[in-house]
Amino acid sequence: MHIHHPEMTLWNAPADLIGAWQQRFGARGLRVLAAPHEIGFADGMREAEVLVGHGVTPEIFRSASQLRWIQAPSAGVGHLLFPELVASPVILTNARGVHAEPMAEHVMAMMLALVRKIHRARDYQGAGQWAQDELWKEVPLLDEIGGRTLGIVGLGAIGQALAFRAHAFGMRVIGLRRHMGGELPLGVHQARGPDQLAWLLSQSDFVANCLPSTPKTKHLFDRAAFAAMKPGAYLFNVGRGTTIDEDALIAALQAGRLAGAGLDVTDEEPLPASSPLYRMPQVLLTFHIAGASRRFWDRAAHLFEDNVERYLDGRPLLNLVDKKEGY
Catalytic residue flag (residue 288): yes
CA atoms within 13 A on the CB side of 234: 26
Sequence-separated (6 or more) residues with CB below 8 Å from residue 251: 223, 226
- Taking the C-alpha atoms of residue 74 and residue 290, their distance in angstroms, rounded to an integer, is 12
State the maximum Cα–Cα separation within the chain, in Å, rounded to a whole number.
68
Residue 244 carries which DSSP code?
A: B
Rounded Cα distance between 324 and 312, Å, is 25
Nearest to 310 by CA among 91, 142, 86: 91
The one catalytic residue among 2, 120, 148, 240: 240
The whole-angstrom distance between residue 210's C-alpha and the CA centroid of its chain comes to 7
Given the residues 84, 269, 309, 325, select the one marked as catalytic. 269
- Residue 281, burial from CB neighbour count under 10 angstroms (0-12, 13-18, 19+): exposed
Q: State the Cα angle at 105 between 96 and 133, rounded to 5°.
A: 150
Catalytic residue among 4, 99, 120, 288: 288
Query: For residue 294, how far is the Cα from the chain centroid?
Result: 16
1, 62, 69, 5: which is closest to 31 by C-alpha? 1
**Length of the chain, please?**
327
Neighbours of 53 (CB within 10 A): 22
What does the alpha-carbon distance between residue 34 and residue 103 come to, in Å, rounded to a whole number? 27
Q: Any idea which residues carry the catalytic annotation?
A: 240, 269, 288
